[in-house]
Amino acid sequence: MIHEDNLNPHTKKVNLKFALYLLIASMPIELIGSYAFLTIPKILGLATLFLFMASLLSKKIYLDLASKYFIAFFAYCILSVFWSVSPLTSLTKSFTVIQIVAFYIIIINEIDSKKSLSTVMVISTFGGALLGISGLMELNQMGFSSYRMAGFAKNANIYFIMAIFLIPPIYWTIAYSKNMLLKLFSLSVMAVLLYTSIFTQSIGGFISLGVFFIFYLFFSQKRIQVLLSMAIVGGLTYYLTPAAFWERVQEVGQGSTDRFSVLWPAGWQAFLSNIFIGHGIGSSDLILPNYINYRTLEQLSVHNALLALGIDLGLIGVILYLVVITIPTIQVYKFCCLKKDGVRTDLENFGVVLFCALLAYLASWFKSGGFEYFKYLWVFVGLEACVVNMIKRERNAAT
The domains of the chain are located at 1-61, 66-110+259-399, 129-251
Distance CA 169, CA 165 (A): 8
Q: What does each of the 399 residues of the chain score in pLDDT, given as a tens digit?
A: 444 334 344 444 457 777 788 778 777 766 565 555 556 667 777 777 777 877 777 667 889 999 999 999 999 999 999 999 999 999 989 988 998 998 899 899 889 899 999 999 999 999 889 888 888 887 777 666 555 555 444 556 677 888 888 999 999 999 999 999 999 999 999 999 888 888 777 777 888 899 999 999 999 988 888 888 889 888 888 877 766 677 777 766 676 678 888 899 999 999 999 999 999 999 999 999 899 877 665 678 898 999 999 999 999 999 999 999 999 999 999 999 987 677 899 999 999 999 999 999 998 887 776 778 888 899 999 999 999 999 999 989 887
Cα–Cα separations (whole angstroms), residue 173 to 26, 57, 125, 206? 18, 35, 8, 24
CA distance 340 to 322: 28
CB 39, CB 30: distance < 8 Å: yes
Answer yes or no: are the C-beta atoms of 262 and 256 closer than 8 Å: yes
Rounded-to-integer distance, Cα 320 and Cα 309, Å: 11
How many Å apart are CA 47 and CA 25, to the nearest integer?
A: 14
Q: How far is CA 253 from CA 257, 304, 376, in A?
A: 9, 15, 30
